[in-house]
Amino acid sequence: MRGIVSRQQMKLAPAWFILLYHNVSWEEGPLLWHIGGTCPPDIFREHVKAARNLGRIVSVRDGYERFTSGGIDEPLISFWFDDGLRGVSQYAVEILDKAGVTGATSICSRFAARSEMFWRFKLSYVHSIGATRELRERLEPSGLSDTDFTRDFSLTSFSADILGTIDKVYVERTSAATREDHFKIFDTPDDVVQMQRLGWEIANHSAAHHSCPNVHFVPNAIRQFEEAEETIKAWTGSAPHFWVLPFGMEADGRLTKAILERSPSRIPVAVGQKANRSNAAQPAALYRICPRATDRRSLSRELLAASALIGAATA
């Protein structure tokens, strides 16, 4: 296929490449319209095919065992999905099963439990129904300026007041039935248990995916991880090994450090757009590569770029 680079054309470095996705679905809907990141199933199938042409696709557990044992002598590629979105169990599970591999899903416990909607999805919905001006006016006391983008401001200036303002506008503009229906975008606890039974890795993505823009939010982030761990353990019978940082933020590395100090057996997971190489000093966190979810031709180039960062890709 044009745009897909074959193994004969390119050889990736011997490292572990973890591909990060969010939703896999034919539809986005107003909760995701202003966020993006939804990968249509046909494009995801092509990404899986491209990955198989570029290296050996493996489960996250197998990849981690090879990584920690120093046994990576070939490019390994795994698939990871954040936020616990329903499209993963509906589409990605079957696609990967046909490829003979499982993935990892990062669960936010309050989303799966239907006790709190993702605040960024609320923000997307408010924008989708034309309530942006009202929201911006209400955010002005929190510091929003005329030149700020609402999405960027809420992420980098995250606070309880900003969270409360977004929620207030969302609740005022929706009915209880609509809010309940919105939760269908996420997997249920039963879905999570079923994915675990199928061999998927269940990861901890915090209770409610709150932003951690600076070191002052580290204690709250740890509390969110601890809450999610207890909830996921109650559902699945085991505590998640991997703690996935919301938005890939590391708070200058201090969140990763705090996780490792709290429990050395937990593995912090970030984004980073780079591969994990086991024959180097083991990093404090695992890193993942976020491909362009709607581009069927770019995956090989993105993997090559990540491979080039460790200086071992050859054309």
Could you tell me where the beta strands, DSSP code E, fall in the chain?
16-21, 23-24, 38-39, 56-57, 76-82, 104-107, 201-204, 242-244, 267-272, 286-288
Average pLDDT, the chain: 91
User: Distance (Å, rounded) from C-alpha 259 to C-alpha 263?
Assistant: 6
List domains and CATH numbers for the chain.
16-129+173-309 (3.20.20.370)
pLDDT in tens, the chain (315 residues): 444 444 444 689 999 999 999 999 999 999 999 998 899 999 999 999 999 999 999 999 999 999 998 889 999 999 999 999 999 999 999 999 999 999 999 999 999 999 999 999 999 999 999 999 999 999 999 999 999 999 999 999 999 999 999 999 999 999 999 999 999 999 999 999 999 999 999 999 999 999 988 888 899 999 999 999 999 999 999 999 999 999 877 656 888 889 999 888 899 999 888 999 875 555 678 999 999 999 988 899 999 999 998 864 344
Other CB atoms closer than 10 Å to residue 199's CB: what's the count?
Answer: 12
Residue 315 near residue 10 (C-beta atoms within 8 A): yes
39-64 tens-digit pLDDT = 999 999 999 999 999 999 999 999 99
Q: Largest Cα–Cα distance of the chain, in whole Å? A: 58
User: What does the pLDDT look like over 231-244, one tens digit per residue?
Assistant: 999 999 999 999 99
Q: Write the CB contacts of 54 (distance below 8 Å, at least 6 apart in sequence).
A: 5, 7, 10, 12, 75, 77, 300, 303
